[in-house]
Structure 1
Amino acid sequence: MPSGETKSAYHHGALREKLMTACLALIEAEGIGAVSLRRVAREAGVSPGAPYHHFPDRATLLHAITAQGFELLVTELRAAHDGAAAPVEALGAMIEAYVHFAREHTGYARLMYRPELSRTAKDPAAEAFAQEGLRLAADTVLAAQRAGTAPPGDPAPLVTMVWSLGAGLAMLAIDGPMDDMSAARGSSTTELTAQVAALFRQMLQDAPKGV
């Protein structure tokens, strides 16, 4: 039988979030390989059977956290977009926001691009948030094209470039050499990311605008 604490948490709808928080902390401390429902229950301080009230298996738990991560990412991307003075500035700000998100939320970031979890079509919530992020990028590219600060034509290549720069830099920032690279030149990952974003904006503005 679950403990009184577990019953209370479950009764008040807090058990699900408690388990997800414990799972994220475990991923950040020991990696995804350490995650099992039994281990997550132990880290959350609940009975071994408690997770099954919300998550029938490990994959369901990880997919739920992945969806939560995409939701948080989209929130940060939208804030970066809304704080920019012009569409081309927003594109650079969104790249920087992507890297900031990954550095601040490494557990989410590592899950969101795990091969078996990155196929968001397997999870309707994760898919919806991922598509919202892509639509925001596409709308911003179209706005930059209308403003004459991005090359005209099919926006898909530019959307892909924005997403690839954001995701690629994010992964390098948490699992790659960006900190060492930045330190070697007397800089920081945040400063290097800002420089990459500024270069991207300049490249867009300098690109030929003819049809």
Structure 2
Amino acid sequence: MKPMTVVTSLGVALPAANVDTDQLIPARFMKEPRSVGYGQFLLYDLRHDAQGEPKADFILHHPEAGKAEVMVSRRNFGAGSSREAAVYALVDDGFRCVVAPSFGDIFASNAVNNGLLPAVVTEEDAEQLLAALGSTPGAITVDLEALTVSVGAVSVPFTLSPVWRTKLLNGWDDIDMTRQHTDAIATFAHQYAEQFPWSAPFPPDAALIGKG
């Protein structure tokens, strides 16, 4: 994954609560391989009318929205089913961070594992950011080192698990998190083998020793 420190980009406001994973990517699109690009399916039923025509006033259809890397929304973002494709849709559409007062637990975990920052702010601060962005994409800065989100004169703190913060700052996955303890693991394995030599498995050809 790409390391993240500061994201300075355009941000878009999605002033809705309970944006669930079926809204983020409707189930009917999950039969498609990811190679087609899941970004085209992001929020599809909110972006289009019943006839499948784009809603011109929807924020993601704004001419500048394609440059946005940050989305600000309301509470309970990513609730619903555990489909990781919801995160794929956001990432494939260019988003690197979603700011909201709360997230679905599985969605947040999937987000971090795919390099997408789920930044948790208070409901009051979310409303400030939404108001500052308004109905058009606007400049926004997300500082993962300082744990702040800023739009113009509005700057608010956000929270994130320290482990998730470490993963995103370094672009690490779970295997990388384990590898940072390689020396300690090797030391433990050596000491354990010396203390409990009887616990080590026999070599594959042990049964042949003394025969022939």
TM-score relative to the length of structure 1: 0.28
If asked which structure has higher relative contact order (CA below 8 Å, sep 6+), I would say 2
Query: 1 or 2, which has the higher strand percentage?
Result: 2
Query: 1 or 2, which has the higher helix percentage?
Result: 1
Structure with max Cα Rg: 2
